[in-house]
Structure 1
Amino acid sequence: MVIEHEQLERSSLTRYVSPKGDFEGFRDDEHYREKLKEWGLSSAKEAKREFLFKERNYQRVVTIKGYETYGKSEEYNTLVIEFQDGNLCCIHPAFLKEMQASSFGKESMLQLEEKDFSTPEQVTVTEVKEEKKELKSESNPEPKKAKAAKPKKEKEPQIELPVDKVHFTASVKQFALTYNPFNEENDEVVVLENVQIIQEPAIELGLAWCSHSKTLKKFELAPGDQLEFDGKVAKKKLAKGKDVEEEFIVDTPVLYKVNNPSKIVKSK
């Protein structure tokens, strides 16, 4: 009874930001583990199920029910967590990760004291970096130097990416490592070439990349393998891995990411 009473008191103190509507759930345990690893929340074989939600003077136990996507190409995620009283709330994965640290509350990595912790447009590392840059420029103003006018480069025509899941053909170019700031590790990815979206008219993407998930590893892919699959595509540049051998670095910019490939067919 005492525990239930404490939960009710904490519920009245918590600021809830409900999901905007329907949100993405997890297909199965493997999908749940992959997403936790991507967010840097757990990389263990037995995926963590309960997390701590902390405020200055209390903490609560929550579970992750799913996630929302946002951004122009829907490449970013906001978590949907559930409290023990059944309330749902949105939170940025990096902030939930920070809450798990014993030192949480002393100095926030994202400096969110005056911000709504759960609004994805506000809770971004990029925004914090921009704020620091502005403060630095105000305290140390540098004289502007006149720059010689550079000839304008012609912009390449932008590809209008489909929003829904589509059918792809591609071939495996190589395997690479990309740095994941959430778990502060390098993640293995598959780099694809000759990527084409099969529709009328067909869309030629050239290069794209996707996570080398357990589902893909079952196919024992090798460079040169021809693939057909369904998936969603987003404009997200492949970042280089940190301190990796040259064979795991891609020498050409890869601007597109394929999310959740399914119905995969491999041929040589």
Structure 2
Amino acid sequence: MAETPAETKDLVHYIEPKGDFIAFSDEEDYLAKGLEWKLFTARSVKKELVYKSGSHQEKVKLAGYEQYGNGLDTIVVEFENGRQSCIHPAYLKEMQSSSFGKELLSGPVASIALTGVEQEVKEKATEDLGELIKAPKTEPKKEKPKSKKKEAIPKLDLPTDKVHFRATVKEFTAKMNHFTGEEDEVVLLENVKVTTEPELVIGDAWCGYSKTLKKVELVEGDSLEFDGKVIEKKYNKEIRYKVNNPSKLVKSTEA
């Protein structure tokens, strides 16, 4: 007989995220984090994983993650009922094993959710807080304004068609392609501006270092004009936009 919501509501110990968490920016970001946590492979990307608690299990989706520094991530998963819960990547990975939880079937549900690495994360956070409390007090200093979280940069209303650009070559570098496992050559651009009406300032952007670009024999500091299409696809946290298929490249005298 299938379990009803009333029968299952107490079978999962939810550890809800505190405030906002980091959502995946795109499929490439989802793939990179999933590979980092070893939840799946590049050839077998999973959109759903299994969450196990005692005799109960159900499918969950990865909603995002929280970061606490020193490379420590806590995954935020979303259940079929829409509720979210935090879990350590290694613990979620263990849950994907067919043998996981068999030795825990007789234990209380609440204690199961906090065993192993989940408990270690909480204990480590408590220890760190204790060290801060024990730290010697220093002489009072002038109060400084509380630092505010950086406001999210509003998304640009990007043109959907191919447009004309002006930009400056900032740097030649590489970006890991998680699908091929190899690095792709890329060009970082600055002062990127759409000059087709309506004009739009993009700022920093990037593009693949294609054969078309190599023929122009670019060097850092070159000012360019070209046609292309801009999309939202980040190179890193600061560079959020990519120029696709640049063509009709001309070195210009203006930035």
Q: Highest Rg: 1 or 2?
A: 2
Structure 2 length normalisation: TM-score? 0.46
Structure 1 length normalisation: TM-score? 0.44
